Amino acid sequence: MKKSLFIAASVALLFAFKPIEQTTWTSDAGHSRLAFSITHMGVNDIEGNFNSFDASITSSKDDFSDAVIEMSADVNTINTGNEKRDAHLKSPDFFDAAKFGKLTFKSKSVKVGADKKYTVVGDLTTHGVTKEVTLTGMRRMGTNPMSKKDVAGFKVSGTIKRMDFNVGAAMPAAMLSDEVQLDANLEFGKK
């Protein structure tokens, strides 16, 4: 009798709670940018971006504190404004795009601080190497006046070491800095 009451109470509790709904947000390619910069010979920052990338966020909380962020960029779309340099960056000397055509990121944790500031820890994979990186960012929310749908904007940045990923390993730091600055301005729409 006690066992039957326990089972009935357990089943009732399961149905009493509303399941947590996950919301997926997808990046708006026309209003997003995934960029980087690196110092050349210690005197000049060279900037570039990936022309083709996708990003998504899945979260059940309005503040995105439980978010899972995933991003994938096509290395073959690297663009620094110089075709010869872009071809060299795609070569085995750097990204080896023919062999490692995707750069990916997947978050492990998202921490929300004051003023909607975020710390995101996740795995970055490029050139066949995966390393944990920490990025910082901020969030803005709004409603698209045309579609009347919710939108979220994230500005995210961080610094990685290219040698950790064996990118341009033969290039000395005196020629190209080991540190690479990552900057992403991403706009997401609720799916």
pLDDT in tens, 19-42: 568 999 999 999 999 999 999 999
Q: What type of residue sits at position 99?
A: K
Q: What is the pLDDT of residues 46-87, one digit of tens each?
A: 999 999 999 999 999 989 999 999 999 999 999 999 999 999
For the chain, domains (ranges, CATH) are 21-190 (2.40.128.110)
Tokens of 21: 């709904």
187 Cβ neighbours under 8 A, 6+ residues apart: 27, 28, 31, 32, 151, 152, 153
Q: Is 187 exposed, middle or buried (0-12, 13-18, 19+ CB in 10 A)?
A: buried
Q: Which pLDDT band, with edges at 50, 70 and 90, does 5 fall under?
A: low
Query: What confidence score (pLDDT) does residue 191 get?
Result: 83
- 0.75 cut: is pTM over it? yes
With 60 as the cut, is the pLDDT of residue 10 above it? no
In angstroms, the CA 151 to CA 32 distance is 12
Distant-in-sequence, close-in-space partners of 126: CB < 8 Å, separation ≥ 6 = 75, 95, 100, 103, 104, 165, 167
Convert the pLDDT of each residue in 107-150 to its tens digit.
Answer: 999 999 988 799 999 999 999 999 999 999 999 999 999 989 99
Burial 132-162 (b: 16+ CB within 10 A, else e): ebebebebeeeeeeeeeeebbbbebebebeb
In this predicted structure, what is the pLDDT of residue 8? Answer: 53
Asked if 158 and 135 count as a contact pair (C-beta separation under 8 A), the reply is yes
Helix (H, G, I), strand (E, B) or coil at 13: helix
Assign 7 a pLDDT band (cuts: 50, 70, 90): low
